C-alpha cells in the first residue's frame, strides 16, 4: 500500500499534553518536627555560613516534592542510610526521629509525583494500550490483530502496576512505524487483494478438512502393509507422554489467507490415580504464542474433541502440540518414538519404550492419545462482513460513496463527530492516490489507513484546545465508560446517547453500567483491573527453582492467576462485597489448583474455573491467601516476608513505604549453622535502628503469611539450609497500632474490622484505573463522596463501580 507518506499524520500525536495546570498546592512550610530536626542536626553544617560538601539546606524550598527535588532526595537518602548526621557527631538523633523525617520527605515526594502524574493540559491525550487497540480494531473492522506477536507493539509501560496512565503511555518516534504497519496489516486482512480468476482456472475450494495424526506415507512401508492386512491402518493413533511433542497438525495445503481459523483435536487423556491430568498445549513457534491449552481427561476408547479458534498468518504455521505436564525425562532412548505406529495400550508399545500403564492397565503417567485434527477457515461472521462493507464503496469510482464510507469509519474510529475539514483531508489522500494511478480499492484503503494512523484514533482525547474545560463532554464520557468496562470503543447505543447529550444524566449512566456489566465483554474489565491493581504480571517473574518446587509449571502458574481473576469477577457479578476480597469461605478453582491446595479431587471438575466452598481447615479464602498473591512477592527460591508486607501496604492500605537504604547486605545462607526460619534470620539481620523503625511497620503485614512458602503452599515447618531439623514457622505478629494476631486468618479479621481503610484504597485504585491518572489533593472530596456511597451500600462491589461512574469525579478530566 503506497502510504509511507502518512507517517507525519501520526507523528502529530506527540503534543504537549502532559504539561499544564492542575497541580495540588504544596505545603508552604516544613512540618515543625522536621524543621526542628534540621535545625538541631543539619543546618550548622549546611547553612549560609558553612556548606560542607558544597551543600546548603537553608535556601531549599519548603515545597518538598515540587521544588528542589534532587536536593531533597539526597537529604532523604543520606539520613535513611545513616550517613547523615555523621557518626562522629556527639549528639546524634534517635533512630525513630530520623525515620520520621525520612517518612515525611518520602510522603511529600509521593504527593509531588502524584500531582505531576495528575496534571492536565487543555487537551489530555491518553494512548490506547495494546489490549485496547486490539479490542477496538476487532470491534471496528472485525479483524483480530495480534499486537503481542514478534515485531508488533512493545509492552505497555506501567506506573505502580497500572498500564493505562496517560502521562506514561507516550509514543516515541521509533514506534510510529509500528502503528502504520499495524494499520496496513489490519486493512490488508479486511480487504485482501481481489485477483480475477484465470481462464480455465479450477473452482476455488474452501479451505478446511480433517486429517489423521499420521498420513499413510508417514508410516514406514513394512508397518503400513502389516496394518493394512490387519485392517488397522486407519486406527493409527499418536501417544504422548509427559513433555512429548506432536508436530503433524497441518493439512497438506497452506493457509490461504491470514485470519481466524477453527482447529479441533480429537484425543483421549489418561490420568493416574491422585496424579495430574494430561494437558494439551498448542503452540505456534514462529509467533511464540500459545494458541490453546486445556487439561484432558477422557477414556482411551471414548476420545473427546476440543475446538478453539486462533488468528494465524497466511502460509504454513509452525504448530507444536505438547503434553504439558511434569514427568520423567524424555532424553533417554525410552522417551522417544519408534517407527512402530501406536494403536492402543492393549496392543502395547515397543519393548524399549517407557511403560505408560501398569499391569492392571492403569496409567502410570498422565498421557494423551491423539486421533485426528480438523481445520476450518478463515472465518468471517456476517456482522464482520457488514462492518467491512460499511467502509468500502460498493460502486467503483463513486466518490460520494467514498466520502460517506470514510466519514462512517472516522466517526466510529474517533469516537466523536467528524468535521468537514477533517473529512476533506482524508478525501484528498484518496484523490492523490487515484491521480498516481493506484487502483480504486487501494486508494480508498489509503484513506482508511490515514484514519487508523490519526492521533484521534490512537489516543483518547479529553478537553478542548480553544477553551479551559475541566469536565468531559458526552462523547468523552461514552469513551471513558466503554474503555473502563469493556476495554474497547463505545457501541452504537452509547454513541447514540452521546449524540443525544444524555450521558451527563446519572440515571442514564446507572442504566448503562448495568447493561455493560451484563455483557460478556465485562470480563475484560475484571481481568485487566485485577491484574493491574494486584500486580499479577509479577507472578512467575522469578521462575521457582525446579529442584525445590518440581510441581510448579506454566499450567499451575496460569491457574494461580486464573483463580484471582475469576474470583474478582465473581465478587463483582455475584453481588459480593469488599469483605470477600479480604476473607471468604469460597473461591474459584479448577482441578489442578484444587489439587495444589490439597482439596478433595471432587472439589472442582472440568476445564473451567468454578465456585468452590472452602473447608474450614483449607487455610484459604479471600485474595491474600491465594497462591498468585503469595508467589508474586517471592524470588523463586524462598518467600520474602518484607516484600509481602510492602504488597499489603501498597495494594490494601494504599501506602508506599520509604525507599530502603542503598547497599543493604542480603540475608546470607549458612549451611553450617543450625537451621533457622527466614523470619528468625530477618530479625537478627535488622540490627540498624534506622532499618528497624521502618521494618516494624512493614514486616508485620507480611509475617502473617509465614505458613505459606514461595509458591503459596501451606506448611507448618520451613525447609531451609543448615544443620538439624527444619524449624516450625511462626505466623504471629503485632501491628504498629498494638493489635496482635496469631495466624493469617486472625490478620484478615483485623483488616475486616477496619474496612473503611480498604474501601478508600480500593476506590482510589479504581479511580486511577478509570481516569487514567493518579489521584491528587484536588480529588480528595470526590473520593470521600464515593467512599461514603460505598459504605451506605454495604461495600458491595457492583455498587462501588456504579457509584464511581455516576460520581462527579468520573465526569472530570
**CA 536, 540, 543: angle at the middle one, nearest 5?**
165
pLDDT digits (tens, 9 = 90+) for 769-784: 999 999 988 898 999 9
Tell me, what's the pLDDT at 700? 92
SS (H, E, C) 574-626: CCCEHHHHHCCCEEEECHHHHHHCCCCHHHCCCCCCEEEECCCCCCCCCCCCC
- Among the listed ranges 201-215, 299-313, 403-417, 556-570, which one has the minimum average pLDDT value? 201-215
- Predicted confidence at residue 424, as pLDDT, reads 97
Give the pLDDT confidence of 674-716 residue by residue, as tens digits: 888 888 877 776 666 667 777 888 899 999 999 999 999 999 9
Q: Give me the mean pLDDT over the 203-228 stretch.
A: 85
Contact at 8 Å (CB) between 64 and 109? yes
Mean pLDDT calculated for residue range 363-392? 95
In this structure, the number of other CB atoms found within 10 A of the CB of residue 550 comes to 10
Supply 423's cell numbers.
Answer: 473529512
Mean pLDDT of 130-147: 96
The model's pLDDT over 287-309, given as tens digits with 9 standing for 90+, comes to 999 999 999 999 999 999 999 99
Query: Where is pLDDT greater, at 420 or 736?
Result: 420
| Mean pLDDT confidence for 196-211 | 70
Reply yes or no on whether the pLDDT at 23 is more than 50. Answer: no
pLDDT bracket for residue 607 (50, 70, 90): confident
Whole-angstrom Cα distance, residue 474 to residue 424? 25
pLDDT of residue 107: 86
What is residue 483's predicted lDDT score, i.e. its pLDDT? 98
Cβ contacts of 485 within 8 Å, gap of 6 or more: 513, 516, 517, 521, 522, 524, 525, 801
Cβ(766)–Cβ(106) below 8 Å: no
CB 295 within 8 A of CB 366: no
**DSSP state, residue 131:** H
pLDDT at 665: 65
Is pLDDT at 22 greater than 70 in this prediction?
no
Q: What is the mean pLDDT of residues 58-74?
A: 87
Q: SS3 of 735, please?
A: coil
Confidence of residue 284 (pLDDT cuts 50, 70, 90): very high
DSSP category for residue 461: E
Residue 85 and residue 375: Cα distance in Å, rounded? 73
Over residues 612-624, mean pLDDT? 95
Q: Does residue 623 carry a pLDDT above 90?
A: yes
What whole-number distance in Å separates Cα of residue 294 and Cα of residue 767? Answer: 35
Rounded-to-integer distance, Cα 296 and Cα 268, Å? 7
pLDDT of residue 19: 32
Q: Mean per-residue pLDDT for 91-109?
A: 86
Q: How confident is residue 668, by pLDDT bands cut at 50, 70 and 90? A: low
pLDDT for res 672? 53
* Res. 196 pLDDT band, cuts 50 70 90: low
Looking at per-residue confidence, does 560 or 13 come out higher? 560
Let me know: does 701 contact 633? Beta carbons within 8 Å. Answer: no
Which 8-state DSSP code applies to residue 674?
Answer: B
Mean pLDDT for the chain overall: 89
User: What CA–CA distance (Å, rounded) separates 451 from 435?
Assistant: 20
Q: Is the pLDDT of residue 125 over 50?
A: yes
> Of 602, 784, 587, 625, which Cα lies nearest the Cα of 702?
625
Q: Is the dihedral of CA 730, 736, 738, 739 positive or negative?
A: negative
Average pLDDT of the segment spanning 533-557: 93
pLDDT of residue 24: 46
Looking at residue 721, its pLDDT comes to 82
At 13 the pLDDT is 36
Contact call for residues 761 and 623 (beta carbons, < 8 A): no
CB proximity list for 390: less than 8 A, separation 6 or greater: 405, 408, 409
Q: What pLDDT is attached to residue 116?
A: 74
The pLDDT score that the predictor gives to residue 787 is 97
> Is pLDDT at 810 greater than 90 in this prediction?
yes
Q: What percent of the chain has pLDDT over 70?
A: 91
- Dihedral class, residue 623 (left if φ above 0, else alpha if ψ from -120 to 50, else beta): alpha
pLDDT at 753: 95
Amino acid at each position: 500500500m503506497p502510504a509511507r507518506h502518512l507517517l507525519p499524520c501520526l507523528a502529530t500525536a506527540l503534543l504537549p499534553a502532559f504539561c499544564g495546570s492542575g497541580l495540588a498546592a504544596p505545603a508552604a512550610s516544613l512540618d515543625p518536627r522536621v524543621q526542628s530536626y534540621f535545625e538541631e542536626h543539619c543546618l550548622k553544617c549546611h547553612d549560609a555560613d558553612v556548606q560542607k560538601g558544597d551543600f546548603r539546606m537553608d535556601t531549599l524550598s519548603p515545597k518538598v516534592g515540587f521544588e528542589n527535588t534532587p536536593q531533597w532526595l539526597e537529604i532523604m537518602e543520606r539520613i535513611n542510610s545513616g550517613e547523615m548526621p555523621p557518626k562522629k557527631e556527639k549528639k546524634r538523633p534517635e533512630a525513630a526521629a530520623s525515620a520520621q523525617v525520612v517518612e515525611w520527605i518520602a510522603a511529600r515526594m509521593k504527593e509531588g509525583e502524584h500531582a505531576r502524574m495528575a496534571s492536565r493540559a487543555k487537551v489530555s491525550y491518553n494512548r490506547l494500550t495494546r489490549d485496547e487497540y486490539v479490542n477496538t480494531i476487532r470491534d471496528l473492522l472485525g479483524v483480530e490483530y495480534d499486537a503481542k506477536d514478534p515485531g508488533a507493539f512493545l509492552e505497555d509501560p506501567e506506573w505502580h502496576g497500572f498500564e493505562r496512565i496517560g502521562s506514561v503511555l507516550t509514543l516515541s518516534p521509533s514506534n510510529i512505524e509500528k502503528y502504520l504497519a499495524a494499520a496496513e496489516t489490519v486493512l490488508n486482512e479486511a480487504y485482501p487483494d481481489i485477483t480475477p480468476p484465470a481462464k480455465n482456472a479450477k473452482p476455488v475450494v474452501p479451505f478446511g478438512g480433517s486429517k489423521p495424526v499420521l498420513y499413510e506415507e508417514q508410516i514406514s512401508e513394512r508397518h503400513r502393509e502389516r496394518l493394512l492386512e490387519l485392517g488397522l491402518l486407519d486406527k493409527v493413533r499418536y501417544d504422548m507422554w509427559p513433555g512429548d511433542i506432536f508436530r503433524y497438525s497441518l493439512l497438506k495445503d497452506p493457509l490461504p489467507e491470514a485470519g481466524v481459523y477453527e482447529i479441533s483435536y480429537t484425543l483421549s487423556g489418561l490420568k493416574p490415580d491422585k496424579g495430574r491430568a494430561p494437558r494439551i498445549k498448542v503452540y505456534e513457534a514462529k509467533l511464540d504464542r500459545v494458541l490453546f491449552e486445556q487439561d484432558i481427561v477422557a477414556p482411551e476408547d471414548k476420545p473427546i474433541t476440543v475446538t478453539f479458534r486462533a488468528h494465524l498468518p497466511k502460509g504454513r504455521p509452525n504448530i507444536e502440540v505438547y503434553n504439558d505436564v511434569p514427568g520423567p525425562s524424555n532424553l533417554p532412548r525410552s522417551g522417544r518414538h519408534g517407527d512402530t505406529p501406536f494403536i492402543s495400550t492393549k496392543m502395547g508399545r515397543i519393548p524399549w519404550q517407557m511403560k505408560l500403564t501398569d499391569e492392571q492397565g492403569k496409567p502410570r503417567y498422565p498421557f494423551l492419545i491423539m486421533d485426528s485434527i480438523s481445520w476450518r477457515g478463515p472465518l468471517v461472521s456476517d456482522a464482520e462482513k457488514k462492518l467491512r462493507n460499511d467502509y468500502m464503496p460498493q460502486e467503483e469510482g463513486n466518490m460520494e460513496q467514498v466520502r460517506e464510507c470514510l466519514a462512517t469509519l472516522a466517526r466510529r474510529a474517533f469516537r466523536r463527530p467528524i468535521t468537514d475539514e477533517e473529512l476533506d483531508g482524508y478525501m484528498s489522500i484518496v484523490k492523490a492516490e487515484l491521480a498516481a494511478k493506484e487502483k480504486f480499492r487501494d486508494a480508498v484503503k489509503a484513506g482508511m489507513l490515514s484514519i487508523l494512523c490519526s492521533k484521534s484514533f490512537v489516543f483518547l482525547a479529553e478537553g478542548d484546545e480553544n477553551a479551559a474545560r475541566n469536565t468531559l463532554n458526552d462523547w468523552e464520557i461514552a469513551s471513558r465508560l466503554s474503555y473502563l468496562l469493556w476495554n474497547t470503543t463505545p457501541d452504537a447505543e452509547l454513541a447514540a446517547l452521546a449524540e443525544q447529550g444524555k450521558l451527563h444524566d446519572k440515571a442514564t449512566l446507572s442504566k448503562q453500567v448495568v447493561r455493560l456489566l451484563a455483557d460478556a465483554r465485562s470480563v475484560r474489565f475484571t481481568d485487566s483491573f485485577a491484574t493491574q491493581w494486584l500486580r499479577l504480571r509479577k507472578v512467575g517473574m522469578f521462575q521457582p527453582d525446579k529442584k525445590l518446587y518440581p510441581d510448579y509449571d506454566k499450567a499451575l502458574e496460569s491457574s494461580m492467576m486464573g483463580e484471582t481473576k475469576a474470583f474478582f469477577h465473581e465478587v463483582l457479578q455475584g453481588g459480593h462485597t469488599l469483605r470477600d476480597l479480604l476473607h471468604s469461605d469460597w473461591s474459584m478453582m479448577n482441578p489442578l489448583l484444587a489439587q495444589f491446595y490439597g482439596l478433595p479431587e471432587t472439589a472442582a471438575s472440568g476445564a473451567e474455573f468454578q465456585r468452590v466452598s472452602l473447608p474450614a481447615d483449607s487455610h484459604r479464602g479471600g485474595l491474600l491467601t491465594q497462591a498468585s498473591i503469595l508467589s508474586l512477592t517471592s524470588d523463586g527460591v524462598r518467600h520474602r516476608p518484607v516484600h509481602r508486607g510492602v504488597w499489603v501496604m501498597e495494594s490494601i492500605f494504599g501506602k508506599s513505604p520509604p525507599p530502603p537504604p542503598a547497599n543493604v547486605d542480603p540475608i546470607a545462607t549458612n549451611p553450617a549453622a543450625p537451621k533457622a526460619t527466614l523470619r528468625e534470620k530477618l530479625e537478627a539481620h535488622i540490627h540498624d535502628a534506622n532499618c528497624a523503625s521502618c521494618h516494624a511497620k512493614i514486616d508485620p503485614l507480611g509475617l502473617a503469611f509465614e505458613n505459606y512458602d514461595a509458591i503459596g503452599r501451606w506448611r507448618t515447618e520451613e525447609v531451609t539450609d543448615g544443620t538439624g531439623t527444619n524449624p516450625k514457622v511462626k505466623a504471629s505478629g503485632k501491628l504498629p497500632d498494638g493489635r496482635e494476631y496469631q495466624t493469617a486468618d486472625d490478620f484478615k479479621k483485623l483488616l475486616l474490622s477496619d474496612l473503611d481503610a480498604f474501601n478508600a484504597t480500593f476506590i482510589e485504585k479504581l479511580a486511577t484505573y478509570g481516569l487514567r491518572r493518579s489521584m491528587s489533593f484536588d480529588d480528595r472530596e470526590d473520593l470521600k463522596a464515593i467512599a461514603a456511597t460505598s459504605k451506605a451500600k454495604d461495600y458491595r462491589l457492583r455498587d462501588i463501580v456504579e457509584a464511581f461512574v455516576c460520581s462527579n469525579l468520573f465526569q472530570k478530566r
